[in-house]
Amino acid sequence: MARLYSFFRSGTSHRLRIALNLKGLPTEILPVNLRKGEHKAETYLALNPQGLVPAYESDDNGTLTQSPAIIEYLEERYPEPPLLPQSLGDRARVRAMAAAIGCDIHPINNMRILGALRQQFGADEKAITVWTNTWIHAGFKALETMLPEGVGQGAFACGDRPGLVECYLIPQVYSARRFEVDLSAYPKITALDATCAEREAFQAAHPDAQPDAV
């Protein structure tokens, strides 16, 4: 069975868990405790030299890193059910929404970045909150426009089932709530989040449902 090195609260691990569940791929979850620095241990660095979760031990193609690369791998290796739509234009639009989160929101709010802001630049918790809220609002404001009308009311970001956008968005909404971001200006995002929350694939991927949840 494939194995996913995951931290329950990590947004990138969370997005992988959703993708695996949507594709119905049984995977053993191996917790890596970021708070204890387990991602910096030699044994973990041998799997992912970047010292970041997730890492994915595939059945037949070795250990893979970087959640976007792993999700693309899963899509190519296990095409059914697809996470990407059929049309070329829709595929690009869906990838753009995923990248708005995966490239432009998540990385700059990551644990090591916030740690550097605190330790090297003297940021206090108030400044950290301003920082995280600034980038989440910037991304969510654009995403709210990019998402189609009617989303969340039986419709997903692209079509009638969840796919790549939902893999990225739902963990980012979870993270936004942890950072106490006011989501009231984003009715499409919150409706989509509520719709996904009703589905087993998302419930099983939720941080609270993980073996290392505290």
Ligand X SMILES: N[C@@H](CCC(=O)N[C@@H](CS)C(=O)NCC(=O)O)C(=O)O
Question: Does 52 participate in binding ligand X (rule CB under 6 A)?
Answer: yes
- Pick from 53, 147, 176, 192: which binds ligand X (CB under 6 A)? 53
Closest separation in Å from C-beta 174 to ligand X: 11
- Taking CB under 6 A as the rule, does residue 58 contact ligand X? no
Compute the distance between CA of residue 139 and CA of residue 146 in angstroms, rounded to an integer.
10
Phi, psi (rounded to 5 degrees) for 53: -95, 150
In terms of DSSP H, where are the helices of 86-199?
A: 88-102, 111-119, 125-146, 164-178, 187-197
Residues 43 and 91: their CA atoms lie apart, in Å, by 37
CA–chain centroid gap for 122, Å, is 28
Q: How far is CA 19 from the centre of its chain?
A: 9
User: Residue 77 interacts with ligand X (CB under 6 A)?
Assistant: no
* 110 binding ligand X? (CB under 6 A): yes
Query: Each residue of 26-45: b (16+ CB within 10 Å) or e?
Result: ebebbbbebeeebbeeeebe
Q: How far apart are CA 196 and CA 190, in angstroms?
A: 10
Q: Which is nearer to ligand X, 78 or 174 (CB)?
A: 174
- Candidate segments 80-88, 110-118, 179-187, 201-209, binder of ligand X by CB under 6 A: 110-118
CB 170 to ligand X: min, Å: 14
Q: Are 192 and 147 a contacting pair, CB within 8 Å?
A: yes
Choose between 187 and 208: whose C-beta lies nearer to ligand X.
208
Considering only residues 153-192, where is the footprint of ligand X by CB under 6 A? none
12 binds ligand X (CB under 6 A): yes
The answer to the question of residue 10 lying near ligand X (CB under 6 A) is: yes
Instruction: Please give the single-letter amino acid code of residue 98.
Output: A
Among 22, 34, 47, 100, binds ligand X (CB under 6 A): 34
From the list 60-68, 148-156, 183-191, 205-213, the region that binds ligand X by CB under 6 A is: 60-68
Say whether residue 11 binds ligand X (CB under 6 A): yes
Query: Shortest gap between Cβ of 148 and ligand X (angstroms)?
Result: 25
Which chain residues interact with ligand X by CB under 6 A? Answer: 10-12, 34, 39, 52-53, 66-68, 110-112
